[in-house]
Chains A and B, each alone.
Chain A
């Protein structure tokens, strides 16, 4: 089946700094790469996604980059704010109905 590794498991930054979370995968058939944000006690919510025919996508302070050759994709958050503090999950989807999630990164933004 598909496998995805997510790093780091915890990331602590100062407000205003950038944060980068990386996921690597093994299945070359993977073609959709979403990122979810889960605030404490809440449901995961999609914040940005990218498909295999695109190398980069940006939405205000967040961006996702995809390197299909190296089989990794990353979430970039610039000018971090305390409200960015949450657990972030990457996921991959290939040809099955079963999305595979990373183990999550706990991002802490210190004011």
Chain B
């Protein structure tokens, strides 16, 4: 069966510090991968999606970036965090365009 992991589960970072969130999927190959941000417990904002290694599409221009160094690994990064980057970050995967299986999420607080 397929499993999706995210870490860390919780993160508190100062403004201006870098960020690296990791997502990995097990039990499948060549999945579509997605990064979402959810602020204030509502609304899923799609940040990035990837249909293959090295292929990243950005939905919202901001100080975040994503990379897919391996087939089942998706990384969300920032060089300098802003207060507005606080939120619940969700990674998701799917085999088809209409599938979305979400990871457990990372709660990021920027102080």
Question: Do A and B share a complex?
Answer: yes
Chain A residues packing against B (C-beta within 8 Å): 31-32, 34, 36, 40-46, 87, 89, 91, 93, 95-99, 101, 103-104, 106
B35: min CB distance to chain A, Å = 12
> Which residues of B are found within 8 Å of A42, using beta-carbon distances?
104-105
> Which residues of B are found within 8 Å of A40, using beta-carbon distances?
41
**A46 close to B100 (CB less than 8 A):** yes
**A98 close to B41 (CB less than 8 A):** no
**Are A104 and B32 also in contact (CB < 8 A) when A43-B105, A97-B49, A98-B49 are?**
no
Report the separation of the CA atoms of residues A96 and B44 in the bound assembly, to the nearest whole angstrom: 17
B66: min CB distance to chain A, Å = 14
B76 interfacial contact with A, CB 8 Å: no
**A43 close to B104 (CB less than 8 A):** yes
- Sample of 12 further A-B pairs with CB below 8 A, known A43-B104, A103-B42: A32-B98, A43-B90, A43-B105, A45-B102, A87-B42, A93-B97, A97-B51, A98-B46, A99-B100, A101-B44, A104-B43, A106-B42
Report the separation of the CA atoms of residues A41 and B90 in the bound assembly, to the nearest whole angstrom: 11
**Are A34 and B90 also in contact (CB < 8 A) when A40-B41, A98-B49, A104-B42 are?**
no
> Which residues of A are found within 8 Å of B98, using beta-carbon distances?
31-32, 34, 93, 99
> Which residues of A are found within 8 Å of B46, using beta-carbon distances?
98-99, 101
